[in-house]
Amino acid sequence: MPKIEKTVLQNDPNEAESGARKPKTPGQSQENKSFCLDDHSPESQHEVLSVTDLIETVNEVSKLSIAHEIVVNQDFYVEESVLPPNSLEGRIMEMMYNAFWDHLEDQLSSIPPNFTCALELLKEVKEILLSLLLPRQNYLRNEIEEALDMDLLKQEAEHEALDVPHLSNYILNLMIRLCAPVRDEAVQKLESITDPVQLLKGIFHVLGLMKMDMVNYTIQNLRPYLQEHSVQYERTKFQQLLNKQPSLLDCTTKWLIKTAIDLTTPSPSSPDSPRSSRMACSPPNWAANNSELPSSTMVLYEGYVNLLLWDSDIEEFPETLLMDRMRLREIESQLNQLTILASVLLVARSFSGNILFSTPKFLDKLKYITKALMEEFNPRPEEAMVSVSEQVSYEIHQGLKNMGLTALSSEKTASLIGQLQNIAEKENCVRSIIDQRSRFFLKCCLVHGMQESLLDFPGGLILIKEELAELGWKFVNLMHHNQQVFSPYYEEILKDIIPPAQAQEKEVESI
C-alpha cells in the first residue's frame, strides 16, 4: 500500500514524542496509559476481559482521552508524523514505500500494462476525496462517484484502456478545489510532474496532508460543542469503563484517604510534605484521633495541590486524573521554576534595594537572564546557580552604577553570590518559604477563586505575580473541570472517609 502521511496528536507545537519505547520501571507503570487495567491474576475477584472487551475498552479510553484533550487543551491539533530517518522503523517504512512504487512502475511499464495496483490506488484516492467533502457538497460527491466509478474503471483496465495520466490530472484538479489555502503551493508543484507514478506518489502525500487539515478543521468545529457537553460525556464514558473495571477508583480512593489524614495528622518527620507518609489504605479514625473534621471540598482541593508534589516511585496516580498527568507535571515544573526565579529576585532585591527593582526595564531584564540561565537547573542545579549568581551580581552592579547609586562592596557582593548559590539547595530557607507560599496561593485560587486571590496576593511573590497568576488560571481551570466531571465519585468516596454524622459541608471562611 502507498504511504499516506501518518499523523500524530500533539498538545503543543514544541512537544513531539519520540518514537523510542522505554522499558517501564515500577514508578513508571502509569506513565503512558490513560487508565490502568487490572492484572487479572487468579486471585482477582473480577472476570478476565475477553479480547473483544479489551479492544472495546481501549477504544472507549481513546475516545475519552481525545475528547478531554480537545476540551482542556486549546492548542490540541494533529500534525504530520515524521519518523527519524536512521531509526529501524523509518528504514523499514522507507523500504516498503519505495518497493510499492517500484512495483507500480513495473506494472504500468509492462506489456500489456497491469493495472492491479493502479486500481487499488484509485479506489483509495476516491475514498479519501469523498471523506474531504462537507455534507452539503452533494453535487461534487456525485461527480466523484461518476468519474471514479470503480466498476467502469475495472472494465477499462480489462480492455487495457485505463488512462492513468488522465485520471491523475482529474484528481489533481479536484484537489485544487478542495485543499486549504495552506496546501495550494504543494498542489501546484504536482502540476509540473509528468511521470504518472511520481504524480500518484505526490498526490498521496498531499492527500495525507489534506486529511490532516480536515481533522483539524473538524476539531475546531467540535470544540464548542464538546465544551458544552464535555462534563456529561466524560462522566458517561468513565462510568462505562468503571462498569467493566470495578477497581478503577482504587488509587483515587487511596489518594483521598491519604489527603484527609495529612490534613489533620501530618507526619512528624516532615509535616509540610505530602510525600512524607505512605499511602493510607484505610479511612482515618476521626473519633479515636479526636481530630477536627475537614470538609470534603477542602480534602479534594488539598489533594489537587498535593499532585504537584507527587512521587511516582511511591504512589500510583489517581485514575480520575491520569489524562491530566502530563499537564500537572508541566505545571509542577513551571511552579518550581517560578520558585527559583522569585527566590533569586528576592535575594537580589535585599542587597540592591527597592529603587533599582522599581524600574520595570531592569526587573524584566533580570527575569529574562535568570530564566535563560535556569534552563540547566534540573540536571545541574549547583552549576546553574553559579552562572545565575555571577550574572545577577554583575547586572546589579551595572544597574546601581547607571542610576548613580552606591555600588555593593566586595563583602556584600560575595555575600550576594553565596546566598544566590545556596538557592540550589532544596532546604534553602528563602526557597522553602517561596515554595510554600506559591502552593498556598494555588490552593487559595481553588477555594476563593482567582479574582479574590489576586487581590490578596501573598507577600514575597509580588515580583512574579504575572507569571504565577497565569499558572494559577491554568491550574484552576484544569482542576475545576476535573471536579465537575468526577464530583459524584469523589463525593461517594469521601462519604466513606468522613463520618456521615459529621459530614456536613462547611463554608470555608479562611484557609
Q: Supply the DSSP string of 129-160, one letter for each residue.
A: HHHTS-TT-HHHHHHHHHHT-HHHHHHHHHTT
- What single-letter DSSP state applies at residue 4? P
Q: Which pLDDT value is given to residue 289?
A: 47
Averaged pLDDT for residues 256-262: 89
Element (H, E) at 77: strand 77-80
Output the pLDDT for position 33.
Answer: 41
Overall average pLDDT of the 254-283 stretch: 61
Task: Between 464 and 277, name the one with better pLDDT.
Answer: 464
For the stretch 73-125, pLDDT in tens is: 777 767 777 777 677 777 777 788 788 888 888 888 888 888 888 888 889 99
Indicate yes or no: pTM above 0.75.
no
Percent of the chain with pLDDT over 70: 79
Cell representation of residue 194: 509528468
Q: pLDDT tens digit string along 346-405?
A: 999 988 888 888 888 999 999 999 999 888 787 788 898 999 999 999 999 898 888 888
Average pLDDT of the chain, as a whole number: 79
Question: pLDDT tens, 420-430?
Answer: 999 999 899 99
Q: What is the C-alpha to C-alpha distance for residues 111 and 181, in angstroms, rounded to an integer?
A: 41
Residue 285 has pLDDT above 70, yes or no: no
What's the pLDDT at 72?
Answer: 77
Residues 6+ apart with CB under 8 A from 319: 35, 36, 248, 249, 250, 251, 252
- pLDDT bracket for residue 443 (50, 70, 90): very high
**DSSP codes, 359-426:** -HHHHHHHHHHHHHHGGGTTT-HHHHHHHHHHHHHHHHHHHHHHTTPPPPPHHHHHHHHHHHHHTTST
Residues 6+ away with beta carbon under 8 Å from 376: 383, 384
Cell 479574590 found at: 452
User: Is residue 29 within 8 Å of 316, Cβ to Cβ?
Assistant: yes
pLDDT surpasses 80 at 483: yes
112: left (phi over 0), alpha (psi -120 to 50) or beta: beta
Question: What is the distance between the alpha carbons of residues 4 and 408, in angstroms, rounded to a whole number?
Answer: 65
Give me the pLDDT at residue 169, please. Answer: 86
Counted residue by residue, the chain has a size of 511
Q: What is the pLDDT of residue 477?
A: 92
pLDDT recorded at residue 474: 93
**pLDDT level of residue 283 (50, 70, 90 thresholds):** low
pLDDT band per the 50, 70, 90 thresholds, residue 511: very low
Q: What is the pLDDT of residue 24?
A: 37
Q: Which residues pair with 292 in a beta bridge?
A: none
Other C-beta atoms closer than 10 Å to the C-beta of 246 total 11
What is the pLDDT averaged over residues 251-274?
A: 71
Q: Are 151 and 102 in contact (CB under 8 A)?
A: no
pLDDT given at position 293: 61
- Taking residue 88's Cβ as centre, other Cβ atoms within 10 Å add up to 10
What integer pLDDT is reported at residue 303 of this predicted model? Answer: 94
For the segment 9-45, what is each residue's pLDDT rounded down to a tens digit? 454 434 433 333 333 333 334 444 444 444 333 333 3
Q: Which carries the bigger pLDDT value, residue 6 or residue 324?
A: 324
Q: Which residues pair with 8 in a beta bridge?
A: 79
Task: Give the C-alpha distances (Å, rounded to integers) separating 333 from 33, 272, 310, 312.
Answer: 21, 19, 12, 15
Residue 194 confidence (pLDDT): 84
For the segment 468-489, the average pLDDT, to the nearest whole number, is 94
- At residue 54, the pLDDT reads 62
- Residue of higher predicted confidence among 289 and 69: 69
Match 487559595 to its residue by C-alpha cell: 444
> Does 505 score more than 50 pLDDT?
no
Q: Contact 242/60 with Cβ under 8 angstroms?
A: no
Model confidence at 183: pLDDT above 70: yes
* Grid cell locating 149: 466509478
Mean pLDDT of 3-10: 46
- pLDDT at residue number 49: 55
C-alpha distances out from residue 429 to 205, 352, 436, Å:
58, 20, 11
Q: What is the percent of the chain where pLDDT is above 90?
A: 31
In single-letter form, the type of residue at position 35 comes to F
